[in-house]
Amino acid sequence: MSTVSLKYKDESWDFRAADTKEYTHCFHTYPAMMIPQIARKLIKQYGKESGWLLDPYCGTGTSLVEASLFGMHSVGCDINPLVRLIATAKLTPIPLQTLDRELNRLNNQLFQVEFSEKIPDAPIPDILNLDYWFSSDLIRYLAFLRAWMGDVEDEAVRNFILVAFSEMVREVSYTRTGEFKLHRMPAQKLENFKPDVFGIFRKKLNRNRQGLAAFMEKRKSVETSVSDANTAQGELPLPRPLGGYDLVITSPPYGDSQTTVAYGQFSRLSAEWIGLPNARKIDGLAMGGRHSGRSELPIATLPERTLMDSPVSSDIEKIRSVDEKRAREVSAFYIDLGHSINSVAKMLSPHATICYVVGNRRVKEVILPTDEFVIFAFCQHGFSHKETIVRNIPNKRMPKKNSPSNIAGETATTMNEENIVVCQRTTHHRNF
């Protein structure tokens, strides 16, 4: 069956005027976040109450939060420990009395410091080039807050506070705003850059407290968990629901982190302040991060099917004819995506639906049809293509004109649109 007729543009999926920061969606920004309205509409259409949703690249947990609001159990995976922390905090109910007691205790501490105009001494974490990214006063403020948070006993409350701290760290650092990669602001700006650390922190805590209260009022009593399983490496998350997951809603990376969205660089300073593992390694661990020269690994369960048979193969060859290295990098990404889809398909129920929100990026003037690759890979596992909805990206936090990679010849112009690929399992398929 031709996939062309099943692909159509539908502007009702743009959600131009939508509030994307309702409930706990307000907690923390992150590059290329899915907007909640997409997950909400897909869950309404393809989900079932008390069923199980999987997001193998969950980021800050947008689809998991929506699953909880709808009444589906959910499991998310991500290799980035910072977003696992954020997603966990967004999903975890906390009795408001408990939260308010701790927030009041924190506020009293902040007032005392402000009143005395003296920042108490606290251990400074061992972070490379710390004074390149933060003024010496800032370092002392952050170290004080870090020490205070370390003493918060209730894990859920501590995570809640850490998430506000994490977003604040990036804002009060010398990083340029509006960029995902770590670049320092111009020298003439540094001198006058004196952010009000406590003020920003309080604002974020208040905003997130309101978001959590709204979430707790609406969420259903469901199970949720966030895992570090890397499906591209064949790792499968737990729990594994009996009968398999019913629905996948996910937005995978657009390509390798080095040349598309640098999630690791975006997270690094916060992760280092919080003391999370692998703070400097995330982009290398992400899909397509290890391009060793492999270009023909099997991507499907049938050993003879290789990347060379897939809808991206001829485009990779076009790239190879002008730039061998870029072709290897691009191949590495699709090999990982193919492996990941194999792992995901193993965990799905006989009637599962998958919804992958993907962008077709342009490399060396060649547009790579990632949407067709996803359909191809799932079709190896008993799925059929149901539809591909093309939407504009009016409000996703993405660079529109210039590639964040600054790689000549690669622009993000194709990222003004993205594709919501929907496939459903139609034939009985043995997974295990």
Ligand X SMILES: C[S@@+](CC[C@H](N)C(=O)[O-])C[C@H]1O[C@@H](n2cnc3c(N)ncnc32)[C@H](O)[C@@H]1O
Query: What residue number has its CB nearest to ligand X?
Result: 59
Q: Is 83 in the site for ligand X (CB under 6 A)?
A: yes
Name the minimum Å distance from CB 256 to ligand X.
Answer: 9
Structure tokens of 284? 């290398």
Measured from the CB atom, the residue of 45 and 233 that comes closer to ligand X is 233
- Look-up: residue for tokens 């990347």? 307
Of the candidates 243, 259, 234, 191, which has an alpha carbon nearest to the alpha carbon of residue 341?
A: 234
Selected binder of ligand X within 27, 30, 215, 376 (CB under 6 A): 30
Residue linked to tokens 């400097």: 280
Q: Which is nearer to ligand X, 60 or 411 (CB)?
A: 60
Nearer CB in complex with ligand X: 166/231: 231
Question: Which residue in the set 32, 130, 138, 182 belongs to the binding site for ligand X (CB under 6 A)?
Answer: 32
Number of residues that bind ligand X (CB under 6 A): 21
Among 23, 26, 27, 34, binds ligand X (CB under 6 A): 34
CB environment 346-368: b (16+ within 10 A), e (fewer): bbbbeebbbbbbbbbbbbbebeb
**Amino acid identity of 136?**
S
- Give the shortest CB-343-to-ligand X separation in angstroms: 10
Helical axes 136-150 vs 155-172, angle rounded to 10°: 170
Contact range with ligand X by CB under 6 A, out of 132-140, 224-232, 313-321, 345-353: 224-232
Q: x/- site string to ligand X, residues 252 to 281, per CB under 6 A? A: -x---------x------------------
Using the minimum distance from each CB to ligand X, give the nearer residue, 240 or 320. 240
Alpha-carbon distance of 201 to 243, in angstroms, equals 44
> 296 near 307, Cβ under 8 Å?
yes
By the rule CB under 6 A, 341 interacts with ligand X = no
Choosing from 130, 232, 341, 377, the residue that interacts with ligand X (CB under 6 A) is: 232
What three-state secondary structure class fits 336? helix
Q: How many CB atoms are located within 10 Å of the residue 235 CB? A: 14
DSSP secondary structure code for residue 339 in this structure:
H
CB atoms within 10 A of CB 213: 15
Pairing label, strands 245-250, 52-55: parallel
Could you say whether residue 33 binds ligand X (CB under 6 A)? yes
CB 207, min distance to ligand X, A: 17
Beta bridge partners of 52: 73
We find the least distance from the C-beta atom of residue 78 to ligand X, in angstroms, to be 4
264 versus 311: smaller Cβ distance to ligand X = 264
Please say whether the beta carbons of 310 and 334 come within 8 A: yes
Considering only 67-75, 120-128, 228-236, 296-304, which stretch makes contact with ligand X by CB under 6 A? Answer: 228-236
The least CB distance from residue 134 to ligand X, in Å, is: 24
Closer to ligand X at the Cβ: 37 or 146?
37
Q: In this structure, are strands 348-358 and 417-425 parallel, antiparallel, or unpaired?
A: antiparallel
* Residues linked to residue 418 through DSSP beta bridges, in sequence order: 391
Question: Which residues of this chain interact with ligand X, rule CB under 6 A?
Answer: 30, 32-34, 57, 59-60, 62, 77-80, 83, 230-232, 251, 253, 263, 286-287
